[in-house]
Structure formats: structure tokens, C-alpha cells
Structure 1
């Protein structure tokens, strides 16, 4: 929860309001992507009052580890002392790395559409209404449901994010979902998506 608070409230602009920059080669600077800066520069004051947090616990990270291609159940058991959870039942979608309830979304090979859920818990002091704003990565459409929701302190809401390839490419595209609350909270979730024309391991 602390990690989420730090990440979702990070700044993506400097004190002058200009985008954070990254050195790409030599002295060439370009606007930084999530692969350069993570979620941005820590804003300690805002992190103390994030409004919403995304809570991932031990079992969530265990499921994430068990979904990594090439990692077998025996290796997981030796490493962390706990077995992989039983696989989903027949007809259920397989677990994917993008299912981890992290304050970012990364999909390394998007073919067609994929639904990603994020679970948001209110740590605010008051009831608050949030509205979702989307900046979609290149080659991808993003639909967020609900696009507006009210949440009370301590409650958890599910945010359903549907990513759809609109133009397959050969590079990651970057975007974000920004949840703005009517009590002045702002929660930013970066998106990094590779819109692929063929299937591969995530």
C-alpha cells in the first residue's frame, strides 16, 4: 500500500511544469517514458494522502511468480516455501503477469483484447467521487469501467480496464489512466502496452 501511494502520486513534470526528460544517446534528451522513470519523481506530500491505493499481498505476488513463463512449481516452492495456487478451472482464463494488482499496467504482447482488473481501496477521510481519464498508448484503445464511481473510506472498488489492439506495431506504447477525485485526490496508473500482431508469452 505504501508503494502504491508513492507510485500513484508521483510527478511526471518538473517544478517548471515541463515533462521529465531522459537521456537516450549522447546528449540527446527526450520526454521520459515509464521505462525511463518508473511512475515519476516522488512527491512525498501527496504520497501521505493518496486517496486510493492498490493493495497487492503475498498470495498476489505468488500468483504473479507462478505465471512467469519458464518458472515451474517446484522452483517456486524452493524459492518462497509456498506452492503455486491451483490453476484456474476449465473455461477460466489463465493467470497472466498483468493480473498483479500493481499501480501500473504492462502488457508485453497484446493480441486482440485483454481485460485487466485493478482493485482500488479508499484510504481517504471522506466519501469521494472519482472520474477516470485515459490517455491511450499508440496502437491501443482503452476502455475503463466504471468511468465514474463513488467510494467510501475503507471500501474497495474494481476497475475494469479493457485494452484492444487497433494498430499492431513493433514497439511499446505508453499512456495512463488518471482518476481525479472531487476531494482533490489524483491517482495516476501508467500503461505500457506492446500492440502485437501475433501471440507470444507475456
Structure 2
């Protein structure tokens, strides 16, 4: 199982909304109709929500929603002017979306989650003609489209599923754990400006250092980084593999009963082995240590498998987290 967080892409649809008595910005819009050279036009309804550009998403609203928004931004009867643009190459990306779920893993904190982040904000893709524009029956106003733009981790996950399919095609003998490892160990930790990936949803108690007014994404937000589906993921050099027995031992370590394990593995007998050192010993590309009272030293081991076609030499380096020493 690969857990995917959502991040922005280097594409915005800025919309400068100017009222007759002032301005309301920034904003985004996918409104496609031309204004036919009109300047200020009569205001019917406007909804203003001021935030940073990376936080804004051009949500799809049905006509019923527009009626409920009536009067929130300005009094009806005013005038409004909308200036639309399409901008690429001017914004830092990826940035972890504020709505993306973050770690730690509430069930097994020793498993660092999410595994990677992928594009999940303002994703334009094919849309079923049988579904309403908003995707919600209560807001169905009869409009149907062939393409739509949606934000969510449900948009980020298909990107990673596609990368996994590419790896599977090239390496049909690899286990799911090897494929996930290749995706994680080749993920990128820098954005389009060559700086650390930022986190739009970071709060002072859990975030990293400040960077350009925002906060650097920690592993609990972006984990190993942003998925990179180019040649790196297809040729990771080393992978962290785990087989069926490893996961059974992992479940036994979590005190699953034999009956519960049989839900995953029919015919299973009894738990005869647990992972020494606890669930953190499961072979995974990441490390997550939970220190309990009275314990300040923890030893974890990992086994890597060479998958490169040619001989390679690796040099190990590390950066110790704050308050952690070798």
C-alpha cells in the first residue's frame, strides 16, 4: 500500500476581481467566456475569499450554490470587472496542499506516512459525461462536460498508480514493495526553484524552518518527496524489498490474532515470529522511531537489494534530525 499526499503544480489561473468600490484579490477562475470588450459590468453575485495564491483552488460551483453566495462579497447592484489569466513558470511548485493529510500514522506511528506526494491541485482530466459538473447530486444543474478540474489526494494517487504501472511493465518480476521503494527513493525533495518543498498547511508546532515566508515540508507532510516518473524511478539502483512473510511477522508484532491474520492470508496457522525491535523493523525505505520513556538509543536495520544492471558503488551519508545524534 502506497500512501500519497497532494501537492500543487506550477500552473495557476489567476482572476483579478475588481469591484466598483475597490478590489478583492487574489483569486482563481476557470470562466472561459469572453467579456466582449466590456469594462465594468453589473454585479449579480460575488464571493471573495482572500488567501495566498497557492491556497486557492478554482472550485466548481453549481448555480444553486451561487444563489446561496448572494451578497457575501458586495452589495448587489454594484459593478465588477474580471481579468483572467493562465500562468506557468512563475510559482514555486510543488507545495504540499493544505488539505493533504499528514503523519504520523495513527495506527502504527513507526511507519512514516505519507510515502510520497504527487500532483493533486487543479488537475485537469477526462470527466464522465454521466456525472454532474460538481460531482455531487445535490448540486446537479444539468450541465455535462468531457473534462473537469479537481483537487484532492484522489487526484494525486492516480499519478503514482500510473508510475507504478510503468515500473511494473519494465520490471514484471518486482514485488509491490520493490516498486513502492523505487518510487520513494527517487522522489524529489526540491521544488522548481531548487529550494526545499514547502508546506501550505504547516503550523508552528510541527513545521520546519521558515523559507520565503512559508514553511518547509517535514517528512510527516511530504515524506521522501515529490514523485518523479522519469528514468530514475525505472532504475533506482537499490530497492527495499519485503515479502509475504515479512508482512505476516509485522502483523504478529502488532499483536494481531491468528484469526485476524487469516483475513489477509488464508490458511495461516499461528504467529511464530515477530519483528525484533518492533514494527519499525519492517523493511521500508524510511525510518520512524518512537522513543518511549527511559529509552534514548534505538537500533534499526535495513536490507537493500541491488537491481542495477551494472556494478555500482554507494556512499552513505546522513543528516541527523534536531536533537538526534548518531
Q: TM-score range by the shorter chain?
A: 0.5 to 0.7
Out of 317, 320, 323, which is 1:133 matched to?
Answer: 317
CA distance in 2, matches of 1:84, 1:98: 22
* Kept in 1: contact 2:188–2:226 (CA 8 A): yes
CA distance in 1, matches of 2:278, 2:270: 14
Helix, strand or coil: the match of 1:109? coil
1:14 aligns with 191
Who is 1:29 aligned against? 214
Unpaired runs of at least 5, structure 2:
1-177, 204-212
Whether the 8 Å contact between 1:52 and 1:122 is mirrored in structure 2 is: yes
Q: 2: distance between equivalents of 1:115 and 1:9?
A: 25
TM-score, structure 2 normalization: 0.38
1:193 corresponds to: none
Give secondary structure in 2 for the equivalent of 1:140: coil
Distance 1:21 1:78, change over 3 A: same
Per-residue CA deviations over 1:61-92 (Å, capped at 9, x if unaligned) read 11112112x5333322344322454136xxxx
The separation in 2 between residues aligned to 1:112 and 1:39, in whole angstroms, is: 25
**Change in CA separation of 1:95 and 1:80 when aligned onto 2, cut-off 3 Å:** farther
RMSD (Å), alpha carbons: 2.3
More strand by share: 1
- The two structures have a TM-score, normalised by structure 1, of 0.60
Q: Does 1:60 align with 2:246?
A: yes
Distance, in Å, in 2 between the alignment partners of 1:78 and 1:123 is 32
Q: Does structure 1 retain, via aligned residues, the 8 Å contact 2:189–2:197? A: yes
Structure number with greater CO (CA < 8 Å, separation at least 6) is 1
